């Protein structure tokens, strides 16, 4: 290949007029030859000027933005970390904080709603429990009252006092004794009237069979008596009841020979 | 294969060693042109690093030239826009492949947009029609007021370039234009102009060398 031949190939190369095989061969030759590269570079200046010799045509203004936009996304990705100042990150930080706050508030509100609902349910349950307990309490109170009544009856002692005098067989009396209250009632009839200086005296026998004076009463012609009585000292367990005729005002110790009435 | 293996310059064709004399004004213009070229090299280096700002500046510097070439070859504004867009995508992707030792950036992008436009014509099988049109009239305008070179080099340089091209012998100029703007191969040009292949090669070689010499001497 002589110089003229190489100049022709270089000229056709810069004009793009070589056949594909020739173009491939020429490129290989150029890579191995720095002088040929320089020669091609100088010819390229001529073809560059040739290209610019055509009538000028301005591309549409919007084409620039369209072409640059194709590489905009990558540019944004590259440029984003470069905006490292506080002014850039501050709005994002605020937005993040507000978002987190909203999430926390929403979560808290949801929890409060659940808690309020749960507590309202608990209050309803407690109200129902109170009503149930109130009814139970009433029942218990009734039971207690019934038990108290039963207990009170248990503390009462009823004794029949019969006549021990031969000439007054119809004389009779009933003693009702409340051991808890330590008092009682004596009801009698067909008792013999007494002289003005004489009284009947009631006695209550304690657990040791010791007579305790429980009251005196005078009897007129009616023969009937109803008397509330109370022993002179406390009686732990009332045994028997008896009535004697004594001097007016009574005595400290009963006169047995004057016994009028006595319980079994 | 080396074209310059001898230290005896007298044995080497003039085109490989001759440096034209340069006047002071021409020297200053060449300094400015070198600065502009350096700027393109710098921009392409930054584009290789995906610098969008550099890409935008490079677009502003060369879009008119590239769109003018595409429009001239395709004679269709819409297709020229597509080709321009495709070529800039290629610039973005291939910027690191640019070698300033093989020519200026403007020549590099011009040949890229030219090749894409020619490929599009070949794909659409419109080449014969365009070749006919190219044969009927020259692609290069004689008036220099509105050429693409003016956007890059300014009015005075564009006028010098235009004069150098127009002053080429008609047969040389037509063969060069058919190759560059119509995308015809040397065989196709030979058939188109009904001239021997060797004649076509010689015309193209002589025409380009003359144009190069005039441009190097005047710019």
Residue B142's pLDDT is 54
Q: Is A81 on the interface with B (CB under 8 A)?
A: no
Question: Three-state DSSP class for A32?
Answer: coil
Angstrom distances, CA of residue B73 to CA of B93, B110, B185: 24, 12, 15
Joined tokens for residue A164: 């021990």
pLDDT confidence band for A21 (50 / 70 / 90):
confident
Tell me, yes or no, if B196 comes closer than 8 A to chain A by beta carbon: no
Considering Cα of A155, then A156, then A158, then A159, what sign does the dihedral take?
positive
Are B6 and A6 a contacting pair, CB within 8 Å? no
Domain architecture of chain B: domains with CATH:
22-126 (1.10.1740.10), 144-219 (1.10.10.10)
Give the CA count within 13 Å in the CB-facing half-sphere of B98: 29
What global pTM score does this model have? 0.51
pLDDT at B174 over 80: yes
Tell me the pLDDT band of B19, cut-offs 50, 70 and 90: very low
Torsional class of A127: left (φ above 0), alpha (ψ -120 to 50), beta (otherwise): alpha
In three-state secondary structure terms, B138 is coil
Q: What is the CATH number of domain A156-263?
A: 2.60.40
How far, in Å, CA of B173 to CA of B195, rounded? Answer: 14
Q: Which of A43-52, B20-29, B189-198 has the lowest mean pLDDT?
A: B20-29
Query: Is A260 at the interface with chain B, CB within 8 A?
Result: no
Q: Which chain A residues are within 8 Å of B56, Cβ to Cβ? A: 64, 68
Query: Hey, which residues does B196 pair with through a beta bridge?
Result: none
Residue, of B78 and B153, whose pLDDT is higher: B78
Distance CA A42, CA A13 (A): 13
Instruction: Flag if B106 and A52 touch (Cβ within 8 Å).
Output: yes
Asked if the model's pLDDT at residue A228 lies above 80, the reply is: yes
The answer on pLDDT for B198 being more than 60 is yes
- Cα–Cα distance, B20 to B217 (Å, whole number): 6
Contact yes or no for A234/A222 (Cβ under 8 A): no
Q: Are A183 and A234 in contact (CB under 8 A)?
A: no
CA dist., res. B85 & res. B95, Å (int): 15
Query: How many pairs of residues across A and B have Cβ atoms under 8 Å apart?
Result: 214
Q: Which of A14, A49, A57 is facing B68, going by the closest CB pair?
A: A57
Closest Cβ–Cβ partner in B3, B107, B147 for A45: B107
CA angle A180, A184, A190 (to 5 degrees): 160
Say yes or no for a CB contact (<8 Å) between B201 and A43. no
| pLDDT surpasses 80 at B22 | no
Give domain limits for chain A: 1-47, 156-263
> Which residue in the block uniquely carries the two structure tokens 């992707």?
B93
Mean pLDDT of A64-85: 61
Kindly tell me if the per-residue pLDDT of B194 is higher than 60: yes
Portion of chain B with pLDDT greater than 70, in percent: 71
Q: Give the nearest partner residue to B3 out of A6, A43, A47, using CB atoms.
A: A6
B66, B91 contact by CB (below 8 A): no
Residue A226 has pLDDT above 80, yes or no: yes
Q: Is A6 on the interface with B (CB under 8 A)?
A: yes
Instruction: State the pLDDT at residue A149.
Output: 76
Give φ, ψ of A236 to 5 degrees: -70, -50
Residue A248: which of A200, A186, A179 has the closest Cα?
A: A200
């Amino acid at each position: 290949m002589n110089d003229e031949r190489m100049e022709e190939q270089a000229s056709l190369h810069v004009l793009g007029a070589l056949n594909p095989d020739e173009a491939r061969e020429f490129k290989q030759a150029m890579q191995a030859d720095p002088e040929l590269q320089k020669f091609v570079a100088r010819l390229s200046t001529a073809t560059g000027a040739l290209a610019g010799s055509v009538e000028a045509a301005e591309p549409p203004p919007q084409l620039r933005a369209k072409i640059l936009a194709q590489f905009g996304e990558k540019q944004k990705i590259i440029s984003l970390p470069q905006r490292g100042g506080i002014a850039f990150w501050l709005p994002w930080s605020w937005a993040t904080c507000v978002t987190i706050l909203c999430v926390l508030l929403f979560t808290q509100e949801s929890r409060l709603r659940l808690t309020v609902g749960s507590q309202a349910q608990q209050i309803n349950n407690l109200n129902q429990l109170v009503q149930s307990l109130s009814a139970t309490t009433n029942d218990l109170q009734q039971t207690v009252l019934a038990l108290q009544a039963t207990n009170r009856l248990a503390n009462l002692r009823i004794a029949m006092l019969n006549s021990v005098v031969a000439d007054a067989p119809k004389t009779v009396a009933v003693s009702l004794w409340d051991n808890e209250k330590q008092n009682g009632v004596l009801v009698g009839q067909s008792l013999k009237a007494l002289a003005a200086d004489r009284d009947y005296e009631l006695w209550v026998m304690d657990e040791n069979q010791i007579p305790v004076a429980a009251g005196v009463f005078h009897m007129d012609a009616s023969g009937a008596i109803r008397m509330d009585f109370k022993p002179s000292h406390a009686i732990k367990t009332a045994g028997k009841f008896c009535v004697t005729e004594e001097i007016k005002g009574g005595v400290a110790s009963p006169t047995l020979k004057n016994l009028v009435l006595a319980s079994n | 294969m080396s074209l310059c293996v001898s230290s005896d310059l007298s044995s080497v064709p003039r085109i490989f060693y001759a440096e034209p004399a340069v006047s002071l004004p021409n020297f200053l213009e060449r300094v400015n042109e070198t600065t502009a070229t350096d700027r393109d090299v710098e921009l392409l280096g930054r584009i290789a690093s995906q610098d969008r700002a550099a890409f935008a500046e490079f677009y502003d510097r060369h879009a008119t030239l590239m769109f003018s070439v595409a429009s001239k070859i395709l004679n269709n504004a819409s297709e020229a826009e597509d080709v321009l867009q495709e070529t800039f995508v290629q610039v973005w992707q291939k910027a690191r492949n640019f070698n300033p030792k093989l020519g200026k950036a403007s020549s590099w992008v011009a040949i890229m947009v030219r090749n894409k436009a020619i490929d599009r014509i070949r794909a659409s099988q419109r080449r014969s029609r365009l070749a006919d049109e190219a044969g009927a009239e020259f692609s290069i305008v004689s008036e220099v007021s509105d050429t693409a070179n003016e956007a890059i080099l300014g009015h005075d340089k564009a006028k010098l370039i235009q004069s150098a091209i127009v002053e080429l012998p008609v047969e040389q100029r037509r063969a060069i234009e058919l190759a560059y703007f119509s995308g015809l191969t040397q065989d196709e040009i030979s058939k188109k102009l009904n001239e021997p292949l060797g004649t076509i090669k010689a015309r193209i070689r002589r025409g380009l060398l003359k144009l190069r010499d005039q441009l190097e001497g005047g710019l």
